[in-house]
Amino acid sequence: MATVGFVGLGQMGAAMAANLIKGGHTLNVYDINKDAVAALQGQGAKACGSPAETAEGAEFVITMLPNGALVRNVLLGEDGVVSRLSKDALVIDMSTIHPLETDALIADLAKDGYQMMEAPVGRTSDHAIAGTLLILAGGTKEQIAKAQPLFDLMGSDTVDAGGPGKGIRVKIINNYMSIALNVLSAEAIALAEKIGLDFDTAMSVMGGTPAGKGHFTTTWPNKVLAGNLDPAFMVDLAHKDLGIALDLANQVGVPIPMGAASREIYNISRTAGRGRQDWTAVLEQLRELSGLETKAK
């Protein structure tokens, strides 16, 4: 059993720290919210007066904070964690922050011989309480192995994202996709409702197509991901149908700005000569615009 410093006892952090205590670890906790500290103290944690103090004798220091500036301040600011951190200890940032801030923090700590990895989490506060979070681990194999016993108390699944900084990157990608998709879904359903369809009717169709199931496991695997752009459904036809939807939405008065933006990518793809390729070729087009290697031909 280890001594673990824990800074950041919000809805998520408090639950995660509690599970580490239940697992038998010794917890040094800190938060600017004194009530949150007291609550953990009641569960057996040691209350600390500063981030620095949580690092006293700790093998791990975990941070779970709202943004990167706070993480930096907690680690490197006045009375910060590193001022009393052992060079054998492992700092684990479990916050969701900007990946370039994560990179900079890992590098800044490494300059002085300190070790840090990141492990942002997925799922909800209910999962935090139940100890069934999804842990997106970014670190060396050794760091992840060392932290695994803690992860197993806080979560039910750990993904090794592929190295330092990759955990926060996969978290941001996942959030990007789900947060933007939420709006696109709302555009589709608002349009459906405005033209007289109800959610159940729309779902009776979309539940069986990429509209509801997504493309990652349906249209993409045998096409663009396999380097095959022979058309099952041509870019030109997708562009045409999208034009009908945009015209309809503008006639009935439903704003669909994401759809409008997406058409311009089909537009660019057609001008680039992809009109008769499979519609999954838009991935190739975005790779090209991103300076990435394209994979199909």
Using CB under 8 A as the binding rule, the residues of this chain from 261 to 280 that contact a copy of itself are 261-268, 270-272, 279-280
Q: Where are the alpha helices (DSSP H) in the chain?
A: 11-22, 34-42, 51-54, 68-76, 99-111, 125-130, 141-154, 166-194, 199-206, 210-213, 235-252, 257-269, 282-289
Which one-letter DSSP state was computed for residue 82?
G
Q: How many residues bind a copy of itself (CB under 8 A)?
A: 113
As a whole number of angstroms, the distance between CA 116 and CA 180 comes to 31
185 touches a copy of itself (CB under 8 A): yes
Among 15, 90, 128, 191, binds a copy of itself (CB under 8 A): 191
- For residue 292, the minimal CB distance to a copy of itself (Å) is 6
Q: Which residues of 192-212 are buried (b: 16+ CB within 10 A; e: fewer)?
A: beeeeeeeeebeeebeeebbe
Q: Considering the complex, what minimum distance in angstroms separates the CB of residue 109 from a copy of itself?
A: 19
Give the residue, chosen from 57, 145, 176, 222, that forms a contact with a copy of itself under the rule CB under 8 A: 176
Interacting positions 28-87 with a copy of itself (CB under 8 A):
67
Q: Given candidates 195, 226, 227, 230, which one binds a copy of itself under the rule CB under 8 A?
A: 195
Cβ of residue 151: shortest distance to a copy of itself, in angstroms?
15
Residues of span 103-162 touching a copy of itself by CB under 8 A? 122, 124-125, 134, 136, 157, 159, 161-162
Backbone angles phi, psi at 156, to 5 degrees: -105, -15
Show Cβ contacts of residue 1 under 8 Å, excluding neighbours closer than 6 positions: 23, 24, 25, 26
How big is the CA angle at 159 (ends 157 and 160), to the nearest 5 degrees? 145
Which of 44, 112, 194, 222 contacts a copy of itself by CB under 8 A?
A: 194
Closest-CA residue to 74 (of 44, 39, 48, 113): 48
Pick from 54, 95, 96, 143 the residue near a copy of itself by CB under 8 A. Answer: 96
Which is nearer to a copy of itself, 23 or 275 (by Cβ)?
275
Instruction: Pick the binder of a copy of itself from 33, 208, 222, 230 (CB under 8 A).
Output: 208
Q: Is 171 a catalytic residue?
A: yes
Catalytic residues: 171
